Structure 1
Amino acid sequence: MKINQLLGTLTGILLTTSLSVAQVKMGANPGTIGASSNLEVEAAASGTATTGNKFIVNKVTGQVTIQDGTQGTGKVFTSDGNGAGNWAFPTAGVNLYNADGILTGNRTVTLGGKSLLFTDSQAGGPFMGLQNTSTSNLAYSAFGLRNDVGGTYFFLNSSTRTGDGGPNTTTLRNDAGGLRLLSSGSNGISIAGGTGAVTINAATTIQDGTQGAGKVFTSDANGTGSWVAPAAPAVASVYAFAATTTTTPRQSVPQSGGGTTAYEMTYQASNINTANAFVPATGRFTAPSSGFYVLYASTQFDNGLVAGQPNFLAAGLTIDKNRGLGSAARLAQTFYFPNALIVSATASTIVYLNAGDYISATVGAQVSSGSTFQVVSSSFYGYKIAN
């Protein structure tokens, strides 16, 4: 019986092939083949009964059709463990766009010069985040950018991590070089790679609750800064001095040719002498340390009690350094040619002094008669302002 069936099938193949060149039919209904088929293999349920299940190759397009009773729109041909295939709907897999999932390994996406852009038109705005829920003291969430020599990382520590600033600290770190935070244009903050030097190229505002007009930003011993009112330097560090100004006694001074100054004024006492660097009896102040000093001297040329009351034809007041030494120098001077009985004079300067330099105020005058003149109500003071 099986031999007869086989002969019948071969006869069907041969007949079909001879009647329609390039058409081959195998299996059930060997004498019947679709007009558009090159090859058909048709299944039989039992005997000569057919099921309509076929394997077809289209002679025009080469398209393969498998009809086994499981076919349907949207299905995929899937094999079982033995290699037997049928049509089935694809198993629902994880879709990034509508379901959560778990990476089973590291993944790399090569952009190939293309851009990847996420957009959103919702009023609430888009959100893209990285979350690490571990409470390990080594845990953090990070986002990185890398080039050929290193990387920049933006990361947030876990609530227990002690490194990189401590728990819950956000850090932006560039292992490849410097950092810049800029607004449009070039204004902003730059941090140099290696040295960490900070450059701020913009107006800077620090509001920590201590700010106020006229304050300066000052650090404590730990480097923590706050705004404080500028403190006046300690009196002992500015070496302030001031001679006591009195109307008596008058100092009688020999006149000098042309009114040039030749006499160092002396004083009865001092009312400020923080470093005991001023000696009233000599009229000299000796700088305790090097730095910049403010100096002021004044006097009144007054011949009202001089015999004959001669007028002042010339009068001068100067502030001198190291008078009588080779390093002597005139720091400030005022000269008058008043032809008057009384003349007031002042002189002031800011000067750098080396430690040990001494300062004095000197006077000189030329009078209309006699050989002496008098000064009264003289003052002399100074203090250090900077190193």
Structure 2
Amino acid sequence: MREYTAAPSPLDIPMKLHERLAALASSGIVTLVLDPERLRFLWANASGLKLWKVASLEELSSRDLSDMSAAARTRLAGYVARLREGQTAEETWTVYPGGEPVPLRAFFSGVELDDGRLGLLIQALRVEDTAQVALARSVEALRHASSMVTLLDAQGNALLDNPAALRAFGEGAPFAGRFVDPAVAVALLEAASRGEVASREAAVRTAQGERWHLVEARQVPDPVTGERAVLVQHVDETERRAAERTAEAQARFAAELADALETVQRQQQEILTLSAPILEVATGTLALPVIGALDGPRSEEIAARLLHAVVERTARCIILDLTGAATATAGAAEHIAQLVRSLRLLGTRPIVTGVPPALAQAFAEIGADLSGVMMLRSLRDGIRASAPAGVQLNARHPMT
């Protein structure tokens, strides 16, 4: 016998989305279906097309909604999470067909798309009442605010989170769980319950990691039930605190560096005083034994100290002893020759002693004019030559 396969019943064939929503096509209530993943409208009734000022569903579907704000994306993600749990959602939205704002009271429910994914079935009514329009503006401003706003009941359970708070802490997270130290949450709620405006800067755990927030809490009435509620605002202060810490660290480093430089300069002065002491060997006679290198900065420092001492002590004779000089360059020879000329301009008689052979050669190479300057072998000879007849000399303590 030939076997026949029964044709499938029309009831067994899944209905397409437009077939399932056919009854709403002529409804005066704006009705749309949004793909929350691809952010495109998949269906709209005549009222929906009229709202968006388009002639056909194809024109509406071609519109790319991917440029919507982060706040709007967060709200849509929250709806999807609720719908997956079998819940519905109701909120006020402001849309901008043709660039004109239209406040709507929107009702969201889940609908299965033709490919099996979850879509958003949106039914909306225009908000015409003046008070409702003002409320819509307030709500819209709150949703796009960068500060994180939460309304809590008296026990600390979240009644409302704006999108910024949802992005930071997620939906349904306990208030105390936001804080690294849960005692901060307790203190804020207790202060608010006493009618205080409490403010704390605290470490919090967010989706972006641990941050520092300035948190303010105050008691307000719940606009729905009239019972006591707590309005909480978070402002992210992480960058400000980091900038302050950086500025403080830089200030400490600058102060430490200044102290270190002052110490180095003081040590350099002490070393210079020891390596080039100015000795008073007789009334009106000073001796400067030079020990070590005579580079530019050190030569200038020695010259400044010696010329100051000449004026201060009214010295008539200066003995420059170069026995311990370690530098025999043309530059060192020029520095010494210049110092000798400066001493003579001050009316002081210079005597140079202990010139090493290499330094004598350097004087010759630069053509230093040392005429009229007494050049002797040793400091002892210089001291004797500087003394007036019959005067006995004794070396004294170095001048500081």
- If the TM-score is normalised by the length of the shorter chain, which range does it land in? under 0.3
TM-score (norm 2): 0.21
- Which structure has the greater CA radius of gyration? 1
Higher relative contact order (CA 8 A, sep 6+): 1
Q: Which has the higher strand share?
A: 1
TM-score (norm 1): 0.21
Q: Which has the higher helix share?
A: 2
